[in-house]
């Protein structure tokens, strides 16, 4: 696929995630997707396949009372099958708010997201938020 097509996949993903449209997100993911969640919290680690990934994302929604959202997308760039987006995300928990910049990096093949690496502006603060 071209860089423009891969950028479209990434843009559709962040748009759908920002709206909380997990059905649309699911259509963009490969069945064997690999999700690299950074940090040292109980949510961190490698999550393999859609089923495991959706359970993982469900934890974010459960812990945040369904407030976790990508609120802003900056630059989206591609280099062959690798696409990156700068973004801002936020979530709320009783007495706590998470609001920070991040970068998502994806490997896209045949129009599907095959692998995801996430980077947070302050990983220690994000880990503390999810505890």
Nearest Cα neighbor of 42 from 16, 26, 62, 14 is: 62
- CA-to-CA dists, residue 101 to 37, 54, 104, 120, angstroms: 15, 22, 10, 6
pTM: 0.91
Q: How many CB atoms lie within 10 A of CB 90?
A: 15
Distance CA 15, CA 61 (A): 17
Our separate counts of H helices and E strands in the chain read: 4, 6
Candidate from 4-18, 22-36, 103-117 with smallest mean pLDDT: 4-18
Whether the per-residue pLDDT at 129 is higher than 80: the answer is yes
Domain count of the fold of the chain: 1
pLDDT tens, 20-65? 788 999 999 999 999 999 999 999 999 999 999 999 999 988 999 9
Q: What is the pLDDT of residue 1?
A: 73
The residue behind tokens 């997100």 is 25
Domain CATH for 14:
3.10.450.50
pLDDT tens, 52-101? 999 999 998 899 999 998 889 999 999 999 999 999 999 999 999 999 99
- The residue range of the domain holding 24 is 3-130
């Amino acid at each position: 696929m071209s860089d423009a097509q891969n950028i479209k996949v990434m843009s559709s993903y962040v748009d759908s995630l920002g709206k909380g449209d997990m059905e649309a997100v699911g259509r963009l993911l490969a069945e064997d997707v690999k999700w690299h969640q950074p940090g040292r919290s109980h949510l961190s680690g490698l999550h393999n396949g859609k089923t495991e990934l959706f359970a993982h994302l469900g934890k974010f929604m459960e812990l945040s009372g369904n407030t976790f959202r990508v609120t802003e997308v900056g630059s989206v760039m591609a280099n062959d099958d690798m696409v990156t987006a700068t973004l801002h995300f936020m979530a709320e928990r009783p007495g706590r708010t998470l609001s920070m910049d991040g970068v998502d990096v994806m490997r896209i093949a045949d129009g599907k997201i095959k692998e995801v690496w996430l980077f947070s502006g302050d990983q220690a603060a994000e880990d503390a938020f999810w505890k």
